[in-house]
C-alpha cells in the first residue's frame, strides 16, 4: 500500500505510517498515511513563514484561479471523494457526497472573495488628512480540525486563509487523514507555490501542540472539543496570537403544541440522528410541551423504527457507524448514565450486529429526562437524544437556554408570535424555525455563543474578520 505523505515546503515527506480504518468495516484499511513529528510541524511552520512575504503580495487573480481550479476538481471527483469520506468517517454515502459538494462550493465562494476584499476611504476629523482602512493577511495560520466533517471544515478554513493571502499549516484529526490529504494534493497541483500550504497529519498532542507552542504561528483556527479549545486559547494568549474556536454544543429543539407534527418529527430525527448524531449542531435535547408530548414521542419512535443502521456505503443505510471504538464507548457510557439518572429508554440503546465488523449503535431515545441530568447537559456526540417535557413556551425557552453551550437552537411551531420571540431570545449563534438544528449555508456566518465558540464567525463574507487584520493609514493631503 502506498503511503500518503505530509506536504512540507512543497515536498511530500514522511516515513512512519498509520492505517486509516473504515468504521463500517474494521477489516478495511482505507489507506496508509504519514504521521508527522513535532519537528515536522516546526519545519512546516518555518516553510509557511518563508512563503508568506511573496504569497501575501500575490495577485488576487492567481489566488482566484487556484481556488476555482480546486473547486472544479473536487466537484468533478465528488463521487470518489464522497466514497473516501464515507469510508474513513462513516457518514452515509449521500451525506458524504453532499459534504464533498459543499467543500467545492466553499472553494468557489472564496475564489470569488479574493476579488471582493474591500477597504474604506474616509476623511479625517482633522482638516486636510485622509484616512484609509485596509485589510491585510495575518501571517502563518494554523488550522486544526476535527474528524466529523473531514472535507467541509478543512475547506471552510483553508479557502479563506489562502484567499486573503495567508500561508497555512494544516493539521487534520488523526482519524480522517484521507480527505485532508486529497484536498491538499488538489490545491498543490492547482499551482500553490511551495510552503504556502503545508500538511502535517498526526497526533494533536504532538503536532497540534507544536503549533500551539510556536511564536511563528500568527493565528489559529480550531474546531473540536471544548477541552482542546481551552488549550488553544491559553497557548494563543501566551503568544499574543489571534484565535478562533468552534467547540461543542448541546443544541435544543423545542416542539410546541401548535407544531406541524410531521415537520417536527422529521426535523428532530434529522437533527438528532443523521450523520450518526456526530455533528456539533446536532440536537440532543428535544424540549416538548405537554399537549403534543405523547403524540410526538410516538411518531418519533415510529420514525426511528424505520431507520436502517448499517455500512455507510450500502444503499438504503440511514445511519452509518460511530466513528471509532473510543466514541462508541463514550456513547454507550452516556446511555448507561441516562438509565441510572432515571430517564426512560424509549427506543434503542443497544449495539447492532451487521455483516461487517463495525461500530454500529441503534438510534437511542430517552424520555422523561430532565434538563439537570448529565445526558442533557454534556455533549455526547452520538445518536443519543433526550426528550424533556415542559408546560408551555416560556418554560421551553428557559430550558432551551439553560445550557453552557449556544451553537444552534431550533423550534417547531406554527405560531408567528412564538417563532419571532424564539428567534430573538434563543441564546445561540444560529436559530432554526421548523428546520433541523443542523444544516447550514456556506455564504452566511456560522458559529455560536457561550461555551460553543470564541472569536469571529466562520464562513461567508464574515470570514475576513479572522483571516485579515485591519490597518488604518492617515495621509496629509
Ligand atoms: P478534539 O478536540 O479531540 O480534536 C480536534 C482537533 O484537535 C484534532 O485535530 C485533534 O488531534 C487536535 N488536538 C488534540 N489535542 C490537541 C492539542 N493538545 N493541541 C492541539 N491540537 C490538539 O475533538 P474531536 O476531533 O474529537 O471532535 C469532536 C468534538 O469536536 C466534539 O466535541 C464536537 O462538538 C466538536 N466539534 C465542534 C464543531 C463546531 O463547529 N462547534 C464542529 C465539529 C466538531 P487528533 O484528534 O488528531 O489527535
The answer to whether the Cα torsion of 109, 111, 112, 116 is positive or negative is positive
* Cα–Cα distance list, 350 to 283, 356, 367 (Å): 20, 17, 16
Domains of the chain: 3-247+452-476 (3.40.605.10), 251-433 (3.40.309.10)
Dihedral angle of Cα 379, 380, 383, 389, to the nearest 10 degrees: -60
176: how many CB neighbours lie within 10 A of its CB? 28
Contact 312, 321 (CB under 8 A): yes
Ligand 1 center–CA 247 separation, angstroms: 8
Active site amino acids = 246
Nearest CA to ligand 1 atom 9: 173
The residue whose grid cell reads 416542539 is 255
Residue showing cell 489559529: 220
Whether the CB-CB separation of 253 and 410 falls below 8 Å is answered with yes
Query: Do the Cβ atoms of 73 and 169 come closer than 8 Å?
Result: no
Find the Cα–Cα–Cα–Cα dihedral 191, 197, 199, 203, rounded to 10°: -160
Span 106-150, pLDDT tens digits: 999 999 999 999 999 999 999 999 999 999 999 999 999 999 999
Ligand 1 centroid from CA 147, angstroms: 7
The CB-side HSE value for 11 (13 A sphere, CA atoms) comes to 7
Cβ–Cβ < 8 Å for 26, 357: yes
Sign of the CA dihedral with 387 first, then 388, 391, and 395 last: negative
> Using CA atoms, how far apart are residues 287 and 387, in angstroms rounded to an integer?
6
CB 329 within 8 A of CB 384: no
Is the model's pLDDT at 1 over the cut of 90? no
Q: Which atom of ligand 1 is nearest to the CA of 448?
A: 41
Which residues are near ligand 1 (CB < 6 Å)?
144-148, 171, 173-174, 203-205, 208-209, 212, 223-225, 228, 231, 246-249, 280, 379, 381, 407, 452
**Angle 93-97-98 from CA coordinates, rounded to 5°:** 115
What separation in Å is there between the alpha carbon of 248 and the centre of ligand 1? 9
Top mutation candidate among 21, 228, 275 for ligand 1, by most atoms within 8 Å of CB: 228
91, three cell numbers: 457518514
User: How remote is the CA of residue 203 from the centroid of ligand 1, in Å?
Assistant: 11
- CA nearest ligand 1 atom 43, residue: 280
- pLDDT value at position 477? 85
Q: Is the pLDDT of residue 153 over 90?
A: yes
- The pLDDT of residue 15 is above 90: no
What is the predicted pLDDT for the residue at 398?
98
User: Which residue minimizes the CA distance to atom 33 of ligand 1?
Assistant: 248
Give yes or no for residue 428 having a pLDDT over 90.
Answer: yes
- Which residue lies with its CA nearest to atom 37 of ligand 1? 247
pLDDT per residue as tens digits for the range 223-250: 999 999 999 999 999 999 999 999 989 9
pTM confidence score: 0.97
* Model pLDDT for residues 55-72, shown as the tens digit of each residue: 999 999 999 999 999 999
Distance 269 CA to ligand 1 centre (A): 25
Q: Which of 321, 320, 330, 332 is nearest to 359 (CA)?
A: 321
Query: Quick one: which atom of ligand 1 is closest to the CA of 146?
Result: 25
Mean pLDDT of the chain: 97
The residue nearest atom 44 of ligand 1, judged by CA position, is: 224
Amino acid at each position: 500500500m502506498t503511503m500518503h505523505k505530509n506536504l512540507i515546503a512543497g515536498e511530500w515527506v514522511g516515513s512512519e505510517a498509520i492505517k486509516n480504518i473504515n468504521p463500517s468495516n474494521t477489516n478495511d484499511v482505507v489507506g496508509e498515511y504519514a504521521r508527522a513529528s513535532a519537528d515536522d510541524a516546526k519545519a512546516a511552520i518555518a516553510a509557511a513563514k518563508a512563503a508568506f512575504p511573496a504569497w501575501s503580495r500575490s495577485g488576487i487573480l492567481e489566488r482566484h484561479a487556484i481556488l476555482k481550479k480546486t473547486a472544479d476538481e473536487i466537484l468533478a471527483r465528488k463521487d470518489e471523494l464522497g466514497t473516501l469520506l464515507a469510508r474513513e468517517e462513516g457518514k452515509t454515502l449521500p451525506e458524504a457526497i453532499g459534504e464533498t459538494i459543499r467543500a467545492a462550493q466553499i472553494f468557489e465562494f472564496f475564489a470569488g472573495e479574493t476579488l471582493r476584499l474591500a477597504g474604506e476611504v474616509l476623511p479625517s476629523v482633522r482638516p486636510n488628512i485622509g484616512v484609509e482602512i485596509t485589510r491585510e493577511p495575518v501571517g502563518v495560520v494554523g488550522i486544526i480540525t476535527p474528524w466529523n466533517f473531514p472535507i467541509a471544515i478543512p475547506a471552510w478554513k483553508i479557502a479563506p486563509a489562502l484567499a486573503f493571502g495567508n500561508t497555512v499549516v494544516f493539521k487534520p484529526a488523526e482519524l480522517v487523514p484521507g480527505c485532508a490529504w486529497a484536498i491538499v494534493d488538489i490545491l498543490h497541483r492547482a499551482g500553490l507555490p511551495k510552503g504556502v500550504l503545508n500538511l502535517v497529519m498526526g497526533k494533536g498532542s504532538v503536532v497540534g501542540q507544536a503549533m500551539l507552542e510556536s511564536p511563528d504561528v500568527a493565528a489559529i483556527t480550531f474546531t473540536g472539543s471544548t477541552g482542546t479549545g481551552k488549550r488553544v486559547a491559553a497557548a494563543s494568549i501566551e503568544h499574543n496570537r489571534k484565535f478562533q474556536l468552534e467547540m461543542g454544543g448541546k443544541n435544543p429543539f423545542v416542539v410546541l403544541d401548535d407544531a406541524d407534527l410531521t415537520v417536527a418529527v422529521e426535523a428532530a430525527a434529522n437533527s438528532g440522528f443523521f450523520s450518526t448524531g456526530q455533528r456539533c449542531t446536532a440536537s440532543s435535547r428535544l424540549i416538548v410541551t405537554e399537549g403534543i408530548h405523547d403524540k410526538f414521542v410516538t411518531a418519533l419512535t415510529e420514525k426511528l423504527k424505520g431507520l436502517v443502521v448499517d455500512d455507510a456505503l450500502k444503499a438504503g443505510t440511514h445511519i452509518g457507524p460511530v466513528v471509532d471504538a473510543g466514541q462508541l464507548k463514550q456513547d454507550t457510557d452516556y446511555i448507561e448514565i441516562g438509565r441510572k439518572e432515571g430517564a426512560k429508554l424509549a427506543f434503542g440503546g443497544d449495539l447492532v450486529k451487521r455483516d461487517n465488523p463495525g461500530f454500529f449503535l441503534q438510534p437511542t431515545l430517552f424520555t422523561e429526562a430532565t434538563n439537570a441530568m448529565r445526558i442533557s447537559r454534556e455533549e455526547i456526540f452520538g445518536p443519543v437524544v433526550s426528550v424533556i417535557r415542559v408546560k408551555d413556551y416560556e418554560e421551553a425557552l428557559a430550558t432551551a437556554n439553560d445550557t453552557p453551550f449556544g451553537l444552534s437552537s431550533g423550534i417547531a411551531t406554527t405560531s408567528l408570535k412564538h417563532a419571532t420571540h424564539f428567534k430573538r431570545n434563543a441564546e445561540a449563534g444560529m436559530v432554526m424555525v421548523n428546520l433541523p438544528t443542523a444544516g447550514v449555508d456556506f455564504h452566511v456566518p456560522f458559529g455560536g455563543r457561550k461555551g460553543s465558540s470564541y472569536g469571529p464567525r466562520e464562513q461567508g463574507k464574515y470570514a475576513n474578520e479572522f483571516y485579515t487584520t485591519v490597518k488604518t493609514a492617515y495621509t496629509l493631503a
